[in-house]
Amino acid sequence: MLTLRIALRNLRRNGRRTTVTATAVTAATALLVISLCLMDGMHAGTVHNATAMVAGEVEVHAAGYRASPRIHRTVAAADRILARAHQAGLDAVTRSYGDGLLALGTHTVGARFWGIDPAAERRAFELARHVARGAFLDAPGDGKAVPVVLGARLARSLHAEVGSEVAAIVQGDQGSMGSGLLRVTGILQAVSTEVDLGAAILRRADFDVLFGAHAAVNEIALTSHGRLPADAVAAAVQEVAGGAEVLTWRGLSPGLAEMLGVFSAFTWMAGVIFLASAALGVTNTMLMATFERFREFGVILALGGGPRRVLLDVATEALVLGVAGGVAGALLGLGGAAWLSVHGIELGGHELLLSGVAFDSVWRARVTAEAVVLPALAMGVICALASLYPAARAARLDPVVAMAQR
């Protein structure tokens, strides 16, 4: 307690310098907290968009399907995988895919047709809630035209609107040609490059008729809704997958995973810069205080206080300065991050893509205990370490020379 009282007294000696240094430490900590929360928000939001919209945390395909997607390459163990997913408490959907052309007036565009179960998609994923115009396969067909939901850019390329009737020409399961008339019931918001450019989504029954397929399962998407790590979801079905390829979202989107890793590295680099700037400020303050107190330190050493006593006094001052600034900065940063978690930062766009995945136009922070507590603790430790140099200089003083200082 005596050491702490002496440290507080010495910090009050030059209130202006102490205030400036404490303010710098507080600002650096607050900026670090806000930066970490923003990066956590971006990471969580991007992963959520990548996994909760369509892909899921894990996808299962037939071996070789992703390299060369063909409608006849189906997941043979689909029933076993779905049963195991149900046992593990996972949501799973099956999808069929086929390629073809869509035509409206003079516009013809290549498309990838999806065959889905709308009810299952609504339970497991959020794609059905990201319809910009119209509805997501809610109404049955009228007997003349099959309902279809189009990706945003695909609809623009076709100049299609809700209610437009488009012609479809496809290559069926056995190589035969199929055709049909589709009515656009919905147009999606920006989801991902793949969905936006080419997705034409049909009910499974309508897909089977158009392609001459029979409940072909080209893909199984699984999700725990964030309850389990992606690797755990993959492990839950790997045993019954047979020769099928089971990949987590990182394996499905390696570019996205790598980009998120790079952003995290940049964030920690910025954190190091903030901590270093605070450490330099504390070092400067302690050096100035040490020079002003040479006579005092000389007296302490002459009275038998010893170098350890001087070292402890200087280090305690820096620790108090760092802890006070770190706590104040953490609270200030917490307030700023909490505000940004609600209001966010408007990025001024409606179709922002990050490595092919839609990124929300409002960038919101995500407040976590780690992002708030770690900077405060790190700041206290860094400030204590920053005091070691001036403290060591003070501890090595010659008492006679030091007491002669004016």
Provide DSSP, 265-332.
HHHHHHHHHHHHHHHHHHHHHHHHHHHHTHHHHHHHHHTT-HHHHHHHHHHHHHHHHHHHHHHHHHHH
pLDDT of residue 183: 93
d(CA 170, CA 113): 9
pLDDT at site 370: 87
**Whole-number pLDDT of residue 97:** 92
Residue 20 has what pLDDT?
78
Res 219: pLDDT: 92
Report how far residue 284's alpha carbon sits from residue 50's, in angstroms, rounded to the nearest whole number.
47
**The pLDDT value given to residue 294:** 63
pLDDT of residue 139: 63
| CB distance 336 to 375 below 8 Å | no
pLDDT at position 5 is 72
pTM of the model: 0.73
Cα 280 vs. chain centroid, distance in angstroms? 32
Cα–Cα distances in Å, from 347 out to 333, 352, 363?
21, 9, 7
Q: Which DSSP string corresponds to 242-275? A: TT-EEEEHHHH-HHHHHHHHHHHHHHHHHHHHHH
Question: Alpha carbon of 3 to those of 29, 55, 199: distances in Å?
Answer: 26, 59, 70
Tokens encoding 23? 């303010």
* Distance of alpha carbon 327 from alpha carbon 373, whole angstroms: 9
Read off φ and ψ for residue 355, nearest 5 degrees: 55, 40
Q: What is the pLDDT of residue 129?
A: 87
Residues of the chain under the 50 pLDDT cut: none
Beta-strand ranges (E) seen in 19-141 are 58-61, 91-104, 107-116, 131-134
Quick one: 406 exposed, middle or buried, by C-beta within 10 A (0-12, 13-18, 19+)? exposed
- For residues 17 and 82, give the distance between their C-alpha atoms in angstroms, rounded to a whole number: 67
